[in-house]
């Protein structure tokens, strides 16, 4: 038997995907790795987002690691604090936490002398493999509104919620009606002195009551783990064959989901004028589909006001809309989303030719099968460009990408190769195939969404999620430039 080579691996980020990668390394017998985390806790987006009403929009059974089912979810779709506790618990029980360096922000990484040199304010270290697990929704996007900084009251992004502020006695202004805005509205509508929602464009809402799991159900799932696994497979099959297909294939699934959204709006909102304001002018699922149970009920509560006039500017007393009306507020919340194209930025990643990843991505982020980039050897990305985040559970995406990275890591550890990166030709061919497939997706039917890149095309996977899994399950060495000893 050949002697295995000792490897050092750097993982950037201790969120869901970074923890997943660490567990794959430990299961594979590799324990010489470091997880760099700029914050003081694990969890990524589930650590940072703590706004009222926060919950996942994927069924709890499916938004879990396949290798670590959780029988204790309290609801059909998990509340944010439970998800954060779950990832922290998994990191502790699987021995990941001791490998994490909290408060350690990576500023740069460069490939030199066949190794990755990772830089932090504390110095520089060398590693054989670099894994980026920096997430998708982590860099808040702030709106460019005149006078925004002049508002006299508390003002914050939804992902930086200020819990020192009492809410029931406040007049709250909420800018944004995406998933976050909908969840905040559903939670606060009718429970605060006033809630003014500034809507740029309405959203289609798929009816999804978030039911509680009974104690007897949780006890049964804990007693018979096979039931939990069955639940995982059921919801995986359901998601992949409903939304997973409807978003990328025209047909019955797409029509049924659109019909459900229209009926939900028609049956839930009595006032025809309010219903008109809440009716989008684009196809359901063109933007990220909103799954919610009582958003429409909350938006019709006393004290809730939907404003569709464009915002002109902000002054110390509140928001002034284009019709000249001043909406006086005590608190201003910016539910304006994230820079989904930040990926590893602002970190600088440089290959051994001195070329930065920012330079390679000048025309827009692209990768080979969402996990690797030409001329950047031994670099693997979790949640990289064109991952199927629009119609799949991110946890399963991370598992598939981590398994792919492990396949190459084992090749390096076994001494078969020194370094590997996809060829320009294979990467270009793959991206051209995706570009050709985009017209069949719902995401190009005319709406403006955060899915769209510089070229106007979605930075998403244009096929069913199962194809992404299949592509990563069968690495093709002929698509790589491989360096041997």
pLDDT tens figures, 275-287: 999 999 999 999 9
User: In which order are the strands placed within the sheet that holds 115-120?
Assistant: 123-127, 115-120, 108-112, 348-350
Q: Fold match between 9-139+339-483 and 148-204+248-334? A: yes
pLDDT category of residue 188 using cuts at 50, 70 and 90: very high
Phi–psi pair at 57, nearest 5 degrees: -110, 20
Structure tokens at 477: 């060495």
> Does residue 19 sit in helix, strand or coil?
helix
pLDDT at 1: 42
- Sorted by where each begins, the domain ranges of the chain are 9-139+339-483, 148-204+248-334
> Does residue 211 sit in helix, strand or coil?
coil
Q: What is the mean pLDDT of residues 411-425?
A: 96
N residues, the chain: 485
pLDDT at 341: 83
pLDDT at 4: 84
What is the pLDDT of the chain when averaged over all its residues? 96
pLDDT at 320: 98
CATH code at 9-139+339-483: 3.50.50.60
> How far apart are the C-alpha atoms of 18 and 96, rounded to whole Å?
10
- Integer angstrom CA distances of residue 299 from 58, 188, 270, 296, 418: 23, 9, 11, 5, 58
pLDDT category of residue 2 using cuts at 50, 70 and 90: low
pLDDT category of residue 129 using cuts at 50, 70 and 90: very high
For 421-470, the pLDDT digits (tens) are 999 999 999 999 999 999 999 999 999 999 999 889 999 999 999 999 99
For 67-126, the pLDDT digits (tens) are 999 999 999 999 999 999 999 999 999 999 999 999 999 999 999 999 999 999 999 999
> How far apart are the C-alpha atoms of 426 and 113, rounded to whole Å?
25
Q: Give alpha helix (H) positions in 118-242.
A: 179-188, 215-223, 225-241
For 332-391, the pLDDT digits (tens) are 999 999 998 889 989 999 999 999 999 999 999 999 999 999 999 999 999 999 999 999
pLDDT at 38: 97
* pLDDT higher than 80, residue 3: no
Superfamily classification of domain 148-204+248-334:
FAD/NAD(P)-binding domain (3.50.50.60)
Which residue matches tokens 């304006």? 336
pTM: 0.96
pLDDT category of residue 197 using cuts at 50, 70 and 90: very high
Contacts for 62 with CB less than 8 Å, ≥ 6 apart:
232, 235, 236, 239, 393, 395, 396
> How far apart are the C-alpha atoms of 9 and 379, rounded to whole Å?
10
């Amino acid at each position: 038997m050949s002697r295995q080579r000792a490897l050092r691996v750097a993982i950037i980020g201790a969120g869901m995907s970074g923890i997943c990668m660490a567990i794959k390394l430990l299961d594979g017998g590799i324990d010489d790795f470091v997880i760099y985390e700029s914050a003081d806790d694990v969890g990524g987006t589930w650590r940072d987002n703590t706004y009222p009403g926060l919950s996942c929009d994927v069924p709890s059974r499916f938004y879990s690691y396949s290798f670590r089912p959780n029988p204790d979810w309290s609801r059909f779709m998990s509340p944010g604090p439970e998800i954060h506790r779950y990832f922290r618990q998994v990191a502790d029980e699987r021995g990941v936490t001791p490998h994490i360096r909290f408060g350690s922000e990576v500023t740069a990484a460069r490939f030199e002398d066949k190794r990755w040199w990772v830089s932090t304010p504390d110095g520089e270290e060398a590693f054989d493999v670099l894994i980026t697990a920096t997430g998708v929704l982590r860099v808040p996007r702030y709106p460019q509104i005149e006078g925004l900084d002049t508002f006299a009251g508390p003002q914050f992004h939804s992902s930086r919620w200020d819990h020192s502020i009492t809410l029931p006695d406040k007049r709250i202004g909420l800018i944004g009606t995406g998933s976050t805005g909908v969840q905040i509205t559903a939670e606060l509508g009718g429970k605060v002195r006033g809630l003014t929602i500034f809507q740029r464009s309405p959203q289609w809402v798929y009816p999804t009551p978030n039911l509680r799991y009974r104690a007897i159900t949780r006890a049964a799932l804990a007693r018979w783990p096979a039931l939990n696994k069955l639940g995982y497979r059921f919801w995986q099959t359901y998601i992949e064959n409903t939304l997973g297909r409807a978003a990328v294939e025209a047909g019955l699934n797409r029509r049924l989901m659109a019909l459900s959204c229209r009926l939900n709006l028609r049956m839930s909102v009595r006032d025809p004028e309010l219903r008109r304001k809440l009716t989008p002018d684009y196809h359901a699922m063109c933007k990220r589909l909103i799954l919610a149970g009582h958003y429409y009920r909350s938006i019709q509560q006393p004290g809730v006001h939907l404003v569709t006039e464009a915002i002109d500017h902000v002054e110390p007393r509140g928001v002034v809309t284009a019709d000249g009306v001043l909406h006086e507020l005590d608190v201003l919340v910016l539910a304006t989303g994230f820079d989904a194209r930040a990926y590893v930025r602002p970190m600088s990643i440089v290959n051994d030719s001195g070329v930065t990843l920012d330079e390679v991505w000048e025309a827009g982020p692209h990768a080979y099968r969402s996990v690797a980039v030409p001329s950047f050897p031994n670099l693997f990305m979790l949640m990289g460009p064109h991952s199927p985040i629009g119609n799949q559970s991110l946890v399963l995406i991370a598992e598939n990408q981590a398994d792919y990275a492990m396949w190459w890591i084992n090749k390096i550890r076994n001494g078969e190769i020194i370094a590997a990166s996809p060829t320009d030709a294979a990467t270009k061919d793959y991206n051209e195939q995706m570009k050709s497939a985009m017209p069949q997706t719902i995401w190009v039917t005319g709406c403006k969404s955060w899915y769209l890149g510089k070229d106007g095309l979605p930075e998403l996977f244009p096929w069913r999620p199962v194809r992404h899994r299949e592509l990563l399950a069968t690495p093709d060495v002929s698509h790589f430039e491989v360096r041997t000893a």
